[in-house]
Amino acid sequence: MTKKKSVSSTREFEKALKKSKAEKYLLKLYVTGLTPASTRAIANIKKICEEHLNGRYELEVIDIYQQPVLARGEQIIAAPTLIRKLPLPLRKFIGDMSNTEKILLGLDLRPKKDK
């Protein structure tokens, strides 16, 4: 009976592992037109997503000049701002997304380093 329980636990673990690898990321990047910071943020987050989430993400870029209602709804106070809607919990990042390590850590794509 112990072996049967062990096999069941292993299967559950493998299912959870597959699910986490297949988990889709829903990201929204709020920018202000085609400013240099906005352009850098778009390029940086696209590069990060392609390298670390290839095929597992949806990125929506929203120009708050064009759609101010969406920015108000998300309580955007600075731009560029990236919001990770899924997987939960919701996370927000402000800046040009050039600190790749910080973004990866915040997206839970890289384990935290021991201090």
The count of structural domains within the chain is 1
Domain membership of residue 9 (yes or no) is no
Token readout for 30 is 């709020």
Dihedral angle, C-alpha 82, 85, 87, 91, nearest 10 ° = 50
Per-residue pLDDT tens over the stretch 8-56? 666 665 555 455 556 899 999 999 999 999 999 999 999 999 999 999 9
> CATH number of the domain that 51 lies in?
3.40.30.10
Q: How many CB atoms lie within 10 A of CB 7?
A: 10
CA nearest neighbour of 88 among 40, 26, 46: 26
State the Cα angle at 110 between 40 and 113, rounded to 5°.
115
pLDDT at residue 113 in the model: 59
Q: Which domain holds residue 68?
A: 21-106
